[in-house]
Chain A
């Protein structure tokens, strides 16, 4: 028993989750849309569906696209979708925009740039509000991407909220991370700051027709590719190494550079597959798996502590911490004891 959901409700959720998962797998669009809502709202139905779908996922290439507001992420994603459709691939897009921290409302405006694909039944675009989740994504982004993956989209673009310098979570959930920059967004010092550019697998200088675009790409290339020889030393000593991204120039609006970008993405994915086929551990997917497990563990622990049997004891622990009678570490240990004791009794 978990989360205080009654047995009949659970079996109904399981049945509905299975039904939605099966129909979405069969290519029906409405059940897929519904399923994404259940997953986004983190309902028992969504969980039941994910239990069926997760083992069927893993084949898709998840591409994260991130960058500052207005750098052209949505337009670039739309152009990449068009390019991938040329060779007949089905494509899904998850576009995340921020929720208001005050009202919880949101404006989800990424579709504006993607309307060229509205008539294409093999393109599925879904907007998501971040709903209080920091890091440029929504809490349910990984799960929603897994749904697209499991129902047969080989290519999934995840467009983050317009980011600042340090919203790097997308790199943990995507196989390949593209950082989009516009020209005139900073000098060489910006390029060597820690954060976003460090997690890029590919950096795209978009709006390549603007003055200064070539110069910006050259500066980024110079700053981001230096140090490749240091990497060898770092590798030998076991220190972590930052990525050394390639820098590409593109003009999303005209499509210039977009075929080259998609080709670069495909090459990376082919290399990733070849490495895992050789038995190499996919470090990015391990990080993604760990983040999912930790996230769900946290939710499960909170839900169980809120169950009627433990609610009162948990409230006492919280009160004791508030009154400084107990330190929060000791309180956490006691909460874990409560959970363990309950499982022995119950």
Chain B
């Protein structure tokens, strides 16, 4: 059905303990009419892949501040691919240096949203790039 809400998983991989940003984004996307699954802090790549699989989400949004993004994010995209979830849109946000963005995009991260990105822009990007459900 065309009017079904877009389902987004917001996850915090790795060891940093700050999820205010992730929660604010989750809440903002809720207000944009998305169904947002929030899984909490300190998620391993395996936990995130399992949640994305079981919840059949359209989008995985990864929030990371620890600096471990070059290790963790490619593991997550590889894990998603291994489970057949390569049609899921994966985005990242948090503290990610510009120099790393190209490598992350090559690893399957569709967009990187740095500090100051508006929720409206994130929502717009998701709406424009999310997979189409028909016949999926």
Interface residues of A (CB under 8 A from B): 29-30, 33-34, 36-37, 41-43, 99-100, 103-109, 111-112, 115, 118-119, 124-127, 129, 131
Segment of B50-58, B65-73, B90-98 in the binding face: B50-58
Interface string of B97-108 (1 = CB under 8 A from A): 000000000000
CA–CA, A124 to B54, complex, Å? Answer: 7
Given A43-B1, A118-B46, A129-B5, A107:B55 Cβ within 8 A: no
Max chain A Cβ within 10 angstroms of own Cβ: one of B34, B35, B83: B35
Contacts of B1 in A (CB 8 A): 41-43
The reply on B89 being an interface residue by CB < 8 A is no
Assess whether B43 is in contact with A126, with CB atoms less than 8 Å apart.
no
Q: How far is the CB of B120 from chain A (nearest CB, A)?
A: 13
Within 8 A of A (CB), among B6-58: 26-27, 29-40, 43-44, 46-47, 50-51, 53-56
11 A-B contact pairs sorted by A residue (CB < 8 Å): A30-B84, A36-B56, A103-B31, A103-B32, A105-B5, A112-B40, A115-B43, A118-B44, A124-B54, A126-B55, A131-B5
Count of B interface residues, CB-CB < 8 Å? 31
Given A30-B84, A33-B53, A43-B1, A105:B47 Cβ within 8 A: no
Interface residues of B (CB under 8 A from A): 1, 4-5, 26-27, 29-40, 43-44, 46-47, 50-51, 53-56, 83-85, 136
Contacts of B136 in A (CB 8 A): 34
CA–CA, A34 to B136, complex, Å? Answer: 9
Assess whether A107 is in contact with B27, with CB atoms less than 8 Å apart.
yes
Contacts of A131 in B (CB 8 A): 5
Assess whether A30 is in contact with B50, with CB atoms less than 8 Å apart.
no
CA–CA, A127 to B9, complex, Å? Answer: 11
CA–CA, A55 to B31, complex, Å? Answer: 40
Assess whether A103 is in contact with B33, with CB atoms less than 8 Å apart.
yes
Assess whether B35 is in contact with A106, with CB atoms less than 8 Å apart.
yes
Given A36-B56, A119-B46, A111:B37 Cβ within 8 A: yes
Residue from B4, B47, B84 in contact with A119 in the complex, judged by beta carbons closer than 8 Å? B47
Contacts of A107 in B (CB 8 A): 26-27, 30, 36, 38
Contacts of A43 in B (CB 8 A): 1
CA–CA, A34 to B51, complex, Å? Answer: 13
Assess whether B50 is in contact with A105, with CB atoms less than 8 Å apart.
no
Assess whether A29 is in contact with B54, with CB atoms less than 8 Å apart.
yes
Q: How far is the CB of B131 from chain A (nearest CB, A)?
A: 12
Assess whether A126 is in contact with B54, with CB atoms less than 8 Å apart.
yes
Contacts of A103 in B (CB 8 A): 30-33
Assess whether A30 is in contact with B31, with CB atoms less than 8 Å apart.
no
CA–CA, A270 to B55, complex, Å? Answer: 31
Assess whether B37 is in contact with A105, with CB atoms less than 8 Å apart.
no
Assess whether B54 is in contact with A33, with CB atoms less than 8 Å apart.
yes
Q: How far is the CB of B67 from chain A (nearest CB, A)?
A: 23
Contacts of B85 in A (CB 8 A): 30
CA–CA, A43 to B135, complex, Å? Answer: 12
| New A-B pairs, 20, CB < 8 Å, besides A30-B53, A108-B35, A118-B50 | A30-B83, A30-B84, A30-B85, A43-B1, A99-B35, A100-B30, A100-B33, A103-B32, A104-B5, A106-B5, A108-B38, A109-B38, A111-B40, A115-B47, A118-B43, A118-B47, A118-B51, A119-B46, A124-B54, A129-B5
CA–CA, A255 to B39, complex, Å? Answer: 21
Assess whether A127 is in contact with B40, with CB atoms less than 8 Å apart.
no
Contacts of A126 in B (CB 8 A): 54-55
Contacts of A105 in B (CB 8 A): 5, 29-36
CA–CA, A42 to B40, complex, Å? Answer: 29
Assess whether A29 is in contact with B53, with CB atoms less than 8 Å apart.
yes
Nearest A residue to B30 by beta-carbon distance?
Answer: A105
Nearest B residue to A36 by beta-carbon distance?
Answer: B56
Assess whether B30 is in contact with A112, with CB atoms less than 8 Å apart.
no
CB-CB nearest 7 A-B residue pairs = A105-B30, A112-B40, A118-B47, A33-B56, A103-B33, A108-B37, A37-B56
Nearest A residue to B83 by beta-carbon distance?
Answer: A30
Assess whether A111 is in contact with B36, with CB atoms less than 8 Å apart.
no
Contacts of B38 in A (CB 8 A): 107-109, 111-112
